[in-house]
Each structure stands twice: as structure tokens, then as C-alpha cells.
Amino acid sequence: MLWQNMLNVGVIGGVMIGNDRADVFFGLILVHGMLELTCVFIAAGIGLRIAWAWIAPGPYLTRTQSLATIGRARIVGALGLAAPLFVSGLVEAFVTPLPIPIPIKLVFGAAVWLGFLAYIVILGGRATRAGLDGDVAAHEREILAPTV
């Protein structure tokens, strides 16, 4: 699905650029698309990581345990994408249609995108160094009892 989306954007971009309308294309897509597509690719990575936990759970966990462990941790990331997608929607709704020069719109879109990347790198790096992974605390997880 991501491949088809990228292909369609590329085809539309090629048509627009071929007809000397690159400014319109980039002014409509790139302003909000930098943040939106970053979120889409992060979400795809989260989904792939969850799927891989089911495909290859490792030597010490069952598929269910592996899926539960990774799923609990990664759902936090997926839910966390709601805020930047909301911001991307606001940019698309209120910045893209403004009657201002396209380079100014692109600078605004790039600033929002770079702010998101800085948030991810700085605060995400700090959380990773602190040993946080998004999973719930051990005392809040299910209790596994041996069954016969």
C-alpha cells in the first residue's frame, strides 16, 4: 500500500512538473506532506515490528508472549502519532490554502517537520537512555502461571 501511494504521488508529481506546475505540486503536497509521510512511515515500521514479533518470537517467548510484549510497547508509539498527524492536518487545512508565497509555506512546513524530528531525537533519545521502551510496568502486566 505504501508503494502504491508513493508511486501515485510520483506519477502526479511527474505530470505536474512536466507541465511546468512544480510550484503548485510542491506547494500543495510538501507543506504538510513532510510531517504526514514521516508519521505514515513510522506507523508502517511499528506494524512491521509487531508482525515480526509474531513471525519470529525468539527462543524464550511463545508467539503470544512476544506479540503481547512488543504490542504493548509499540501501541504507545502508534497512539503517539495522533498528535503529529493532527498538527499535519492543521497545516494542511490552514497553511496550505493561504495566499502567501509557496517558499514561505514550505519553510513553515519544514519548521514543523524539523520540530517533530527534534522532539523524536531529543526526548526519544533521553527516554531510551533512561531504559524506557513504552511497555507498561512489570507489576501491571499479566501474571503467567504454569498450567498443566
Residue 104 lies in a domain: yes
Q: How far apart are CA 112 and CA 28, in angstroms?
A: 16
What value does the mean pLDDT take over residues 14-36? 92
Q: How far apart are CA 34 and CA 106, in angstroms?
A: 10
pLDDT digits (tens, 9 = 90+) for 30-86: 899 999 999 999 999 999 999 999 999 888 888 888 888 888 888 888 899 999 999
* Nearest to 13, CA basis, from 31, 25, 3: 25
Percent of the chain with pLDDT over 70: 95
- In sequence order, the 6+-apart residues with CB closer than 8 A to the CB of 42 are 77, 81
Residue 100 lies in a domain: yes
In the DSSP assignment, the letter for residue 91 is I
Residue 119 lies in a domain: yes
Kindly indicate the confidence band of residue 143, based on its pLDDT and cuts at 50, 70 and 90: low
Kindly indicate the confidence band of residue 12, based on its pLDDT and cuts at 50, 70 and 90: very high
Domain span holding position 83: 2-134
Residue 139 lies in a domain: no
| Full-model pTM | 0.82
Residue 148 lies in a domain: no
